[in-house]
Amino acid sequence: MKDEDKTYENEVNIRQENFIKDQKQTIEGLKKEIDRIQESYDNLKIINDGHQKLNGELRIENKKLKEENEKLKDPLNGLRKDGDL
């Protein structure tokens, strides 16, 4: 009976070792996936920051152009009212 007990014990130990090995592989795979996702996030953050900066610059330029456009409209309207155009 002792030999049978040892065989069962060895089988249980082997199963546990295999389970632990599989879990370690799973953990390593998940760590790699986390690293990949973090790198992707970092890249998207850089793109987003650049987009926000460019968007802000474009808004300022757009506002200036609208103001210039309004200034150009006023003299033309004045000339039209005076009958010069």
In order, the DSSP letters of 16-45 are HHHHHHHHHHHHHHHHHHHHHHHHHHHHHH
For residue 79, the model assigns a pLDDT of: 67
**Phi/psi-derived region of residue 83, left when phi > 0, alpha when psi is between -120 and 50, beta in every other case:** left
Question: Which amino acid appears at position 63 of this protein?
Answer: K
Percent of the residues in the chain that have a pLDDT greater than 90, as a whole number: 65
pLDDT digits (tens, 9 = 90+) for 3-22: 566 688 888 899 999 999 99
Neighbours of 12 (CB within 10 A): 10
